[in-house]
Structure 1
Amino acid sequence: MRRDVQHLERPCVLVFAGHDPSGGAGIQADIEAIAAQGAHALPIITALTVQDNNQVYAVHPVAASLIDAQAQVLIANMPIDAIKLGIVGNRDNAETIARLIDQIQRHDRDRAQPIPVVLDPVLASGHGNRLSAEDASFAMSPLLGRATLITPNLPELTKLAPHGLSITQQARALLGGDCSDVLVKGGHGHEALVINRWFSTNPLQAEMEWSWPRYTGGFHGSGCTLAAAISGLLAMGLPMASALLHAQEFTQQSLQHAYKIAPGQMIPLRSVTQGRK
């Protein structure tokens, strides 16, 4: 006997990121973290990498024309509720993605708010390995002006913002245009607590910080996890402040329950769930 089943609709996050064959970071991390927030990832691979859970040995960008062709099909047939950006591979890919973002925003200009764009400016791996066929800062620069939220760690912030400034000044230098928010991650520090600092153009929430326990050991894909979780929560309709808080809570739980696949960095358990108010 056949039964009718109620099918719920999930909001979609268009993801541009590289493929990590170890499964710890990149597009797989994004898919898992977005799904854990209740949204659905539309993954477009920007680069194929040769890496394990510790080192990146090579990066091979996907052709920009293929990235564009994949995105055009999705844009034409699916509502997009958020966009998440990881590594782009080269400047051509970044320029193509920037044009796609402009196209999507024009197509959905009747929305009350523009579609949120979360940029995780992955300029190098945790061990400093290059993640672009060109200088990563140069390759990614066309996307800085399209992002709603940029999530640099401390080394990335120093490369993206003018030198000789304080962290606050560097973060605020990234604000402007479409970028209304910057979350500076403190995971690369050595203090007992990880301090993440949020800077916003919203005068009611101009600056805020959160403190989290620093877990021992190294983790592969923690930055991808956080940025993807934020994008998933924004797609679900949460305001920025709530999305940042709940994504950090989710990431902390993922790190707390991380698992090993080989010696070296551990993999965040992104299938963990948490209650949200």
Structure 2
Amino acid sequence: MTSRPPRILAIAGSDSSGGAGIQADIKTITMLGGYAMTAITALTAQNTRGVHAVEAMAPDFVAAQIDACLEDIGADAVKIGMLGSADIAEVVADRLEDLPCPVVFDPVMIATSGSVLADEATIEVFEWLMEIATLTTPNVPELEALGGADGMTARGIAYLAKGGDADGPMIEDRLVRPGLEDEIWSEARIVTKHTHGTGCTLSSAIATRLAVGDPLEKAVAEARRFVRHALRQAPGYGLGNGPLGHQAVR
């Protein structure tokens, strides 16, 4: 009998152009052998050049999507991405607070194109979500907005400081865990403008690897490998920051 795939619930916004958000989550989870479920927090009209419009879902409807998945199918891991509003962030935190499975929180604030995806009120609720999460995955500007490395470390949470937005030919990602030595990955930058959805892809990949039982360090390492392959296989679509090549990764 074939073993059943791990169940991953992705809570995030929809990207109409397919490169980021829920669409990137589903592709990533599926390519890594997981079963993807979704709770859509917002609809966006966007492409590789920017976000043109956003319609946040009603918080009760987001909660209903989460409840429908968890009450019937269940979950082995959860990934949180774009939330859309402070009320939605609070509903998500409330639903996940006592969930006995790994939670990966990508604190999405700004899209690759530069569009703002979280206001100050929403960012304030991130504190609650970071306490719940097994791992939080901020990029350089998100880490700064959340209080920097000192502020994150003082909270006593595990986080992955992503270095893709920093300058230089090398990218350094740092996994920080309370009471443990930092794990650092340093690799040459893949020079490409096709980076739309890298954060979504990475966090979903980590959640999927955690769902199959990988320890956190291995889950991050495997997820990074997946993202780097997908960057190299980007199809080159769009006039701006194009999507990754999820389907080309085997």
TM-score normalised according to structure 2 size = 0.93
Where 2:42 maps in the other structure, the secondary structure is: strand
Compute the displacement of 1:144 (Å): 1.9
Q: Is 1:41 equivalent to 2:41 in the alignment?
A: no
Q: CA RMSD in A?
A: 1.7
Alpha-carbon separation, structure 2, partners of 1:213 and 1:271: 23
Q: Letter of the aligned partner of 2:126 in structure 1?
A: M
Q: 1:164-203 alignment to 2 at 5 Å?
A: 167=149, 169-174=150-155, 176=156, 179=157, 181-203=158-180
* Number of the residue aligned with 1:249: 225
Q: Letter of the aligned partner of 1:220 in structure 2?
A: H
* Number of the residue aligned with 1:130: 116
Deviations 1:237-276 (A, max 9, x none): 11111101110011000001111222121211112445xx
Q: 1:85-96 alignment to 2 at 5 Å?
A: 85-96=80-91
Q: For structure 1, which runs of at least 5 residues remain unmatched after alignment?
A: 1-5, 106-114
Kept in 2: contact 1:171–1:199 (CA 8 A): no
Alpha-carbon separation, structure 1, partners of 2:138 and 2:98: 25
Q: Letter of the aligned partner of 2:173 in structure 1?
A: N
Compute the displacement of 1:134 (Å): 5.7
Alpha-carbon separation, structure 2, partners of 1:135 and 1:263: 33
TM-score normalised according to structure 1 size = 0.85
Alpha-carbon separation, structure 2, partners of 1:58 and 1:139: 23
Q: 1:71-220 alignment to 2 at 5 Å?
A: 71-105=66-100, 115-132=101-118, 135-161=121-147, 167=149, 169-174=150-155, 176=156, 179=157, 181-203=158-180, 206-218=181-193, 219-220=195-196
* Number of the residue aligned with 1:11: 6
Alpha-carbon separation, structure 1, partners of 2:52 and 2:17: 12
Bigger Rg, structure 1 or 2 = 1
Alpha-carbon separation, structure 1, partners of 2:246 and 2:113: 22
* Number of the residue aligned with 2:237: 261
Q: Letter of the aligned partner of 2:61 in structure 1?
A: L
Q: Letter of the aligned partner of 2:223 in structure 1?
A: A
Compute the displacement of 1:212 (Å): 2.1
* Number of the residue aligned with 1:111: none
Kept in 2: contact 1:90–1:139 (CA 8 A): no
Compute the displacement of 1:79 (Å): 2.7
Alpha-carbon separation, structure 2, partners of 1:267 and 1:10: 26
Query: Cα–Cα, structure 1 residues 133 and 183, in superposed 2: closer, same or farther, change >3 Å?
Result: closer
Count of aligned pairs: 249
Query: What fraction of aligned residue pairs are identical, expressed as a percent?
Result: 35
Q: Which runs of 4+ in 1 moved over 2 A?
A: 102-105, 132-136, 138-142, 271-274
Kept in 1: contact 2:86–2:123 (CA 8 A): no
Compute the displacement of 1:143 (Å): 1.3
Deviations 1:55-92 (A, max 9, x none): 11222210111111121121111131101000110011
Compute the displacement of 1:135 (Å): 4.6
Query: Cα–Cα, structure 1 residues 127 and 262, in superposed 2: closer, same or farther, change >3 Å?
Result: closer
Deviations 1:181-233 (A, max 9, x none): 21101100121111111111243xx2011012212232100111111100010
Alpha-carbon separation, structure 1, partners of 2:125 and 2:118: 7
Alpha-carbon separation, structure 2, partners of 1:195 and 1:262: 28
Kept in 2: contact 1:46–1:67 (CA 8 A): yes
Compute the displacement of 1:49 (Å): 1.1
Where 1:104 maps in the other structure, the secondary structure is: coil
Compute the displacement of 1:171 (Å): 3.9
